[in-house]
């Protein structure tokens, strides 16, 4: 999970949320507590652009969130290579990704959101 500032210029990590039966409720709580009006859901696809099993799971979450979050816009954004980039960054900072999966997920969410925000500023 990650959230941007109100000016939509920077992204900040939030603790990772495990995928279980309370996922939608916990995301909804965060959206309410943080006054979120736009939710960006990562869409994992293979480097070739082909859909994978993870893509289908992310698509399902996207549709569930669109139905559940009535006061927020929910979109999808390509998340290719965000986990790899997050893992490299954590490794460079002296952390082993295998020991910090939640930290990798949060860092990847920040990278995904930064890519989206960069896309907003592109001409």
Query: What pLDDT sits at residue 12?
Result: 95
pTM assigned to the model: 0.88
Query: What pLDDT sits at residue 43?
Result: 95
Share of the chain above pLDDT 90, in %: 69
CA dihedral sign of residues 32, 79, 74, 58: negative
- Regions of the chain with pLDDT less than 50: none
Taking alpha carbons only, the member of 58, 72, 67, 64 closest to residue 30 is 72
Query: What pLDDT sits at residue 98?
Result: 67
Q: What is the pLDDT of residues 49-78, one digit of tens each?
A: 899 999 999 999 999 999 999 999 999 999
Query: What pLDDT sits at residue 122?
Result: 78
């Amino acid at each position: 999970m990650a959230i941007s500032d109100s000016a939509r210029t920077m992204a900040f990590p939030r603790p990772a949320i495990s995928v279980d039966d309370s996922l939608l409720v916990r995301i909804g709580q965060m959206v309410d507590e943080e006054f979120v009006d736009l939710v960006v859901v990562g869409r994992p696809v293979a480097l070739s652009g082909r859909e994978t099993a993870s893509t289908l799971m992310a698509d399902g979450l996207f549709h569930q969130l669109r139905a559940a979050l009535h006061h927020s816009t929910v979109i999808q954004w390509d998340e290719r290579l965000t986990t790899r980039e997050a893992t490299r960054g954590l490794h460079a900072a002296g952390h082993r990704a295998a020991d910090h999966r939640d930290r990798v997920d949060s860092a990847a969410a920040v990278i995904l959101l930064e890519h989206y925000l960069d896309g907003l500023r592109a001409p």
